[in-house]
Chains A and B, each alone.
Chain A
Amino acid sequence: MSLLGAFARLGLQRSGGFTGVAVARCFQTTSVLCAEPLKKKKKLDPQIVKQREDRKKKKIEKQIRRLEKNARQLKPVEELEVPLELIDEKDKRQRKLTPLGSAELEERALLKKQWAHYKHEERVADFQIIDRLVQAQNKALAELRRESEELYQAAIEIDPQLLPVAVKGPVATPPIKNYVSPDGDYLHQSMKWEVK
């Protein structure tokens, strides 16, 4: 069919004018409507259909069972596993230090207690600061509301531009100005998996 169409077009291109039209008439350019009548649908035995469905169901159930069986087995994470050599050479690698004296232990225990007190006070002070800030803000908002309800409503609106916010935390030493970091060695460490 497409071949015919192509020929028709070819003819048209080759011979322009009246002759071209005459040639084109001899060719069929539309699709031929002489298809085979549709096949009669086979009626399946309802029992066979049922069997097939059952088989499908069983297959899925089996898969589910297999998955459930392995559900508790987690994939190993390489980075989290203790290297074997450490386990093997543990005796060799343990430090042989003289055990701590009671004075040292006592000192450490005292220091820990002191530390706990210190952190507690720090935390309490933090809460007090937060309280103070919240109070100051509430007072400001209340005053604003007394002046004008519209301004207050504008003030309590959420600021969508604030998120996401990027903050660089304090560091141990400040960044060196105009510092160009040297290129390190490149080690390709990712594992290669081969299909057997």
Chain B
Amino acid sequence: MLRRLVQVGARELSRSQSSAAAAEKWDLYAGVLVERLPVVSKSLNPLEKQFQDMLWRVEYENSLKSDHELKHEREIVQAELIKKGKMQVDMEDSGSKQTAQDRKDAYIEELKKFQLGARTTPDDQAKKTSSTDRCLEDTLYLLVQQKLGQQEHLVLPQGKREEGESMRQTAERVLRERCGQELQVLFYGNAPVGFHKYKYPSNQRTESVGAKVFFYRASLRSGQVAEKVAKFEWLPKEELNGKLKNAAYAESVNKFLL
């Protein structure tokens, strides 16, 4: 009951506020920040590398010898005894026996044969910005070519809210319209993560003064932007800042980038 009263009160408050600001009408837009999360871990910087080496050394010093190491030592001692002629060579045994050294060589050979996945991809070398299979260490953000006013701009996908939609629904619809159906993303909650507003040029203002863009964060699950719909680029943070031409927009976006 009390909560309801508070809600009604808040609604009336907002109504009175909006009536005061009725002179200026703003269009509401939803923008989507789609990020491809890092696939591989960050490479270590020199200090981290140094510290890791030290930890490994300490680990080695504190460790006990394994069965394999003991066997190896025993065999070395035996080999020396045989060389000196103090021990008889067991002809039946030595042929079939696999020494610790043999085993070690075998598994090193096996490891060499195995090819690990490369941390850099062909798309890295080709600088193919439309691919999500590059810059595996960094988060990539999606920029889409979009017409705002007269000109085309490279921005985060955005679109106008329609009557009856919540901002989250707008964001989902906008992403489908701008990037096609194949892009599967996970939206992080119903609340916007960032905000940007800009005024339209004075000759284009008809009923509203400008646009208020509410940004939603989403992470890429699978799929890719449909190529036919629009030109797009996946960029890490530094390159992203180079591409955003409008300084105020770049500043707003940077506020909610990681």
Interface residues in chain A, defined as those with a beta carbon under 8 Å from any beta carbon in chain B: 86, 90, 92-95, 97, 108, 111, 114-115, 118, 129, 132-133, 135-137, 139-141, 143-149, 151, 153-159, 162, 165, 167, 170-176
Shortest C-beta distance, A68 to chain B (Å), equals 39
Q: Does B180 contact A (CB under 8 A)?
A: no
CB neighbours (8 Å) of A174 from chain B are: 39-40, 117-119, 121, 136
Beyond A114-B47, A136-B195: 4 further Cβ-contacts under 8 Å? A95-B61, A111-B54, A136-B255, A173-B119
Q: Does B41 contact A (CB under 8 A)?
A: yes
Q: Does B11 contact A (CB under 8 A)?
A: yes
Contact across chains for A115 and B47 when beta carbons are under 8 A apart: yes
Segment touching A, from B77-85, B141-149, B183-191: B183-191
19 pairs from A and B in contact (CB 8 Å cutoff): A90-B64, A93-B64, A93-B70, A129-B258, A132-B256, A136-B194, A136-B255, A137-B256, A140-B193, A140-B194, A141-B191, A144-B167, A146-B18, A155-B191, A158-B190, A170-B39, A170-B41, A171-B40, A174-B39
Contact across chains for B188 and A162 when beta carbons are under 8 A apart: yes
Bound-state Cα–Cα, A192 to B30, Å: 62
Q: Which residue of A lies closest to B38 (CB)?
A: A170
CB neighbours (8 Å) of A118 from chain B are: 47
Q: Residue A173 contacts which of B117, B194, B195, B256 (CB distance < 8 angstroms)?
A: B117
Contact across chains for A115 and B214 when beta carbons are under 8 A apart: no
Bound-state Cα–Cα, A97 to B168, Å: 63
Contact across chains for B195 and A140 when beta carbons are under 8 A apart: yes
CB neighbours (8 Å) of A97 from chain B are: 61
Bound-state Cα–Cα, A147 to B166, Å: 12
Bound-state Cα–Cα, A90 to B70, Å: 12
CB neighbours (8 Å) of A86 from chain B are: 64
Instruction: Produce 1/0 per residue, B157-194, CB < 8 A to A.
Output: 00000000011100000000000000000111111111
Bound-state Cα–Cα, A165 to B17, Å: 39
Bound-state Cα–Cα, A111 to B195, Å: 43
Contact across chains for B117 and A145 when beta carbons are under 8 A apart: no
Q: Residue B11 contacts which of A149, A165, A172 (CB distance < 8 angstroms)?
A: A149
Contact across chains for A155 and B14 when beta carbons are under 8 A apart: no
Contact across chains for B61 and A147 when beta carbons are under 8 A apart: no
Contact across chains for B117 and A136 when beta carbons are under 8 A apart: no
Q: Does B50 contact A (CB under 8 A)?
A: yes
CB neighbours (8 Å) of B40 from chain A are: 170-174
Q: Does B234 contact A (CB under 8 A)?
A: no
Shortest C-beta distance, B224 to chain A (Å), equals 16
Bound-state Cα–Cα, A46 to B224, Å: 84
Q: Residue A151 contacts which of B21, B61, B166 (CB distance < 8 angstroms)?
A: B166
CB neighbours (8 Å) of B214 from chain A are: 140, 143-144
Which residues of chain B from 29 to 61 have a CB within 8 Å of any chain A CB? 37-42, 47, 50-51, 54, 60-61
Shortest C-beta distance, A148 to chain B (Å), equals 7
Q: Residue A171 contacts which of B15, B39, B197 (CB distance < 8 angstroms)?
A: B39
